[in-house]
Structure 1
Amino acid sequence: MDEVYEYFLSIMGPEFNKTQPTEAQIAKFSGKLPRKLLEYWHDYGWGGFYDGLFWLTDPEEYASSVEAWLASTNIPDKQNYLAIARSAFGRIFLWNKKTGQNITIISLDSLIITSPPDEDVAAGDDTDALQDFLCEIDPDYLDMQDTKENNLFKRVLRKLGPVAVDEMYCFEPALAIGGSPILGNIAIVKITPQLIFLAQLGDVEILHIDVSKIL
């Protein structure tokens, strides 16, 4: 097994609800996504990790959601962003062949985080950027916090069980319309209609973070 993927599994594994994409499904993204990611799809498929907190995804399943979130923004080249992964709480990680993984949609918070293009990807080398993304996935970062800043995932997992491949956890009512991030307000819903619904609530904040200027 690839040592980077092995490390990823040591943190986030094992995989469950695995779907094996066909060769045609994989070939569709040749030249659009890193060759290394397509190799991982071929060898290990799409599926959930860490009891469903993190998922490697079929970008086609999220195309309408990505379009809904980016449509009203002035993000350059937005038509070429593809969803390569997501969290149980509707956090969507986007990849662009020119910039790498530099946009993340945090749907429950009505937030889009952008960062500068990855220099290696811009220069034509996307393997390191893709593997860095997988190695840096952190369960705490993927979690949501309640009003007392306590993580919610393990508690909602005990209460409601894991989400399926087409589901996510959400707050009812949504935070954007006054809902509160507490365990009792969490429900499991179908992910695509929920993501589109949240995108339509308006007032989406775009936050640009340049780590190089922080360090």
Structure 2
Amino acid sequence: MRPTSPPLRLIVRHRRLLAALLAATALWCATLAVRPQPTTAVLAAAHDLGSGPLTTGDLTTVNLPTTTIPDGAIRPGTDVTGRLLAAPLRRGEPITDIRLLGPTLVDAYGPGMRATPVRIHDPATASLLHPGDTVDVIGTTTQWDDTSAPASPTVIRSLKVIATPKPPTDQLTDAGTLIVLVTTPDQATTLAHAATTSRLSVTIHGRAG
């Protein structure tokens, strides 16, 4: 019989060791594949939410893979009860700072801008509004005599809607519906003055697409 060559004898001699090493390597790779990813706790919507003030029942804590958490996600322990949600959220969607009405959201529209609450007279019109809509604010005077018809001049044109809060049903009034617009400080002053002498309403610009 032809003698076995030295390299072949070496492989045969250590085949059990090689098999054990290969099995250990496969097990290590499998362990890495199924190892759970690190998670981080964040606040999320407990159910589908419309824009408006947040309550304790609107919030829940979820643990998400750390690599998937969006920037600005709100962590448990942060008090956001009563803050205004600027746009609707689906159940389980993380709540981020940009979703809450406040400096972070308003700053996206430019330095020095303000979030200005405006009460409009017609709730049906308010129900058609969504964050991001562009509106003109119209003021119908509440002070006129018998010889003149009420005037309805445009107060300010092309303002962005930033939130359309939905108040609790036990807080509904006949005073109109609140919306929040992005304005400059001067525009906020103009709207506040117009609200004292006029019933405010809005017309909605056409939506693109």
Please give the range of the TM-score, normalised by the shorter of the 2 chains: under 0.3
Q: State the TM-score, normalizing by the size of structure 2.
A: 0.23
Q: State the TM-score, normalizing by the size of structure 1.
A: 0.23
Which structure's CA Rg is the greater one?
2
Larger proportion of strand: 2
Larger proportion of helix: 1
